[in-house]
Amino acid sequence: MPPKKKTQQTAKQDRIANKPRASKHKQSGKIKELFNQVVFRDWCKACGICSAFCPKKVIGHDDRGGPVIKRPDDCIGCRFCELHCPDVAITIIVRDVESERDRA
Amino acid sequence: MTKEVTKLIHKYLRHDKKFPHVWCPGCGNGIVLGALIRAIDRLGLEKDEIVLASGIGCSGRMPVYVDFNTLHTTHGRALTFATGIKLAKPSLTVITLMGDGDATAIGGNHFIHAARRNLDLTAIIINNQIYGMTGGQHSPTTPYGCYATTATYGHIEHAFSIAELAVTAGAAFVARGTVYHARLLDELIEAGIRKPGFSVVEAMSNCHVQFGRRNQIEDPVTMMKWLRDHAVATEKARKMKPDALEDKFTIGVLADLEKPIYTDEYQKVRDRAKSLARQ
């Protein structure tokens, strides 16, 4: 039984390794880390701090000032919004590309 | 840096209380709350080891939301209650949260004497330069020439500088941060709690609703930019000329002294008295 288990595991590892990665930096060839921005609308008071200070303009705002995630892939994960949200209503999570693709 | 900051903050919140909290949209109190929680998490303290005492004002609502031993006391008396707690059980980590009016006007005497006495307490003072909760009356930290409900033709008094006052009063650790420099603020709070002796952390905050509205800075973003542009790090400030620093304030550690702690000294007195009684 143990050998069979081992082959299954290696097969899975190969499958992961051969999958195309999310996106690459053109020059460095490094894999760019991606982030998910989750806004908890029930607690958000639309103060506008997250959208005003976002260095990559990932977060925009709608007509009542609430945050809208406009370019999620541009996020560099500086967590300014997460640290400065007075209502603890925004979370930055490292995107797990593999699991998301599996789910899709 | 801890990953998933929000998840960490949720660990320390009382979710049975009414959320979102009572503070206005964009209020700096929420940022200070986050900084405090991050500092406590980094220190690795248990929830039961911490006592959080607050006075009256917007900042006084903070202990309601966090899952420590909490105390919402009378106006200006957060430090007196904290002194009692610390003397009764010196093993506890006692933190007090006050506003600028609470600490330097109503509780001004308690503040300077607590600093002089050097009990092992941490005082976090949120300075928004106004009495926010009561409707925007001028406080001891309202700058000269600013407008408030009780200074409709401009404020004619001069402002206190809380951190410098604490240095003069003899606090063992004094630091100043702003809500814009959130990472620095949680480092300063962490250092303050770690420091044996009386530590003061002044957090410059924004009150765009009561202060900003009367002084043509009506949104939190502009107020935070104001804090960003007027804050100078202590190391940088030493090299700058005095007139360049006129409308600026310094951030960082302002004083870090080694002084005998009140609770230790008190224990010594008790031991001495006991040994004399035996003779």
Cβ–Cβ of B30/A86 closer than 8 Å? yes
> Residue A41: inside a domain, yes or no?
yes
Cβ–Cβ of B182/A82 closer than 8 Å? no
pLDDT of B200 reads 95
Q: How far does the CA of residue A17 sit from the closest CA of chain B (Å)?
A: 25
pLDDT of B2 reads 43
A84 — contact with chain B (CB < 8 Å)?
Answer: yes
> Residue A10: inside a domain, yes or no?
no
> Residue A7: inside a domain, yes or no?
no
pLDDT class of A1 with cuts at 50, 70, 90: very low
pLDDT of A31 reads 74
Residue A97 DSSP label: H
> Residue A40: inside a domain, yes or no?
yes
pLDDT of A20 reads 46
Domain count of chain A?
1
The angle at the Cα of B111, spanning B110 to B112, to the nearest 5 degrees, equals 100
pLDDT class of A6 with cuts at 50, 70, 90: very low
Instruction: Give the tens place of pLDDT for each residue, A8-37.
Output: 555 555 555 444 445 545 556 667 788 888
ipTM of the complex: 0.84
pTM over 0.95: no
Query: Of the candidates A79, A86, A91, which has its C-beta nearest B23's C-beta?
Result: A86
Cβ–Cβ of B221/A42 closer than 8 Å? no
Interface test with B, best of A42, A43, A49 (most B CBs within 10 A): A49
The amino acid that residue A13 corresponds to is Q
Cβ–Cβ of B25/A84 closer than 8 Å? no
Per CB-CB distance under 8 Å, the chain B contacts of A33 are none
B52 — contact with chain A (CB < 8 Å)?
Answer: no
pLDDT of A30 reads 67
Q: How far does the CA of residue A6 sit from the closest CA of chain B (Å)?
A: 33
- Which residue of chain B has the CA closest to A85? B31
| Range A70-74 average pLDDT | 89
3-class SS letters over B50-110? EEEEECCCCHHHHHHHECCEEEECCCCCHHHHHHHHHHHCCCCEEEEEEEHHHHHHHCHHH
Cβ–Cβ of B30/A88 closer than 8 Å? yes
Per CB-CB distance under 8 Å, the chain B contacts of A49 are 26, 220-221, 224
- Which residue of chain B has the CA closest to A37? B4
Q: How far does the CA of residue B31 sit from the closest CA of chain A (Å)?
A: 5
A83 — contact with chain B (CB < 8 Å)?
Answer: yes
- Segment holding A94, helix H or strand E: strand A90-94
Q: How far does the CA of residue A28 sit from the closest CA of chain B (Å)?
A: 25
Contacts of B169 (CB under 8 A, 6+ apart): B111, B112, B113, B115, B116
- Which residue of chain A has the CA closest to B31? A86
Cβ–Cβ of B20/A90 closer than 8 Å? no
pLDDT of A97 reads 75
B18 — contact with chain A (CB < 8 Å)?
Answer: no
Contact between B197 and B191 under an 8 Å Cβ cutoff? The reply is no
| A46's tokens | 């639309």
Return the CATH number at A77.
3.30.70.20
> Residue A47: inside a domain, yes or no?
yes
Question: Which domains, and CATH codes, for chain B?
Answer: 5-278 (3.40.50.970)
> Residue A3: inside a domain, yes or no?
no
3-class SS letters over chain B? CCCCHHHHHHHCECCCCCCCCCCCCCCHHHHHHHHHHHHHHHHCCCHHHEEEEECCCCHHHHHHHECCEEEECCCCCHHHHHHHHHHHCCCCEEEEEEEHHHHHHHCHHHHHHHHHHCCCEEEEEEECCCECCCCCECCCCCCCCCCECCECCCCCCCCCCHHHHHHHHCCCEEEEEECCCHHHHHHHHHHHHHCCCCEEEEEECCCHHHHHHHHCCCCHHHHHHHHHHHEEEHHHHHHCCCCCCCCCEEEEEEEECCCCCHHHHHHHHHHHHHHHHHC
Q: Which range of residues forms the domain containing residue A46? A: 23-103
Res. A66: pLDDT tops 90: no
pLDDT of A14 reads 52
Cβ–Cβ of B224/A82 closer than 8 Å? no
Which residues of A, range 34-53, sit inside 8 Å of B by Cβ? 42-49, 52-53
Walk along chain B (279 residues) and give the pLDDT tens digit of each residue: 445 777 788 888 988 888 888 999 999 999 999 999 999 999 999 999 999 999 999 999 999 999 999 999 999 999 999 999 999 999 999 999 999 999 999 999 999 999 999 999 999 999 999 999 999 999 999 999 999 999 999 999 999 899 999 999 999 999 999 999 999 999 999 999 999 999 999 999 999 999 999 998 888 999 999 999 999 998 888 888 888 888 889 999 999 999 999 999 999 999 999 999 888
Radius of gyration of chain A (CA): 18
> Residue A17: inside a domain, yes or no?
no
Per CB-CB distance under 8 Å, the chain A contacts of B34 are 83, 85-86, 88
The amino acid that residue A90 corresponds to is I
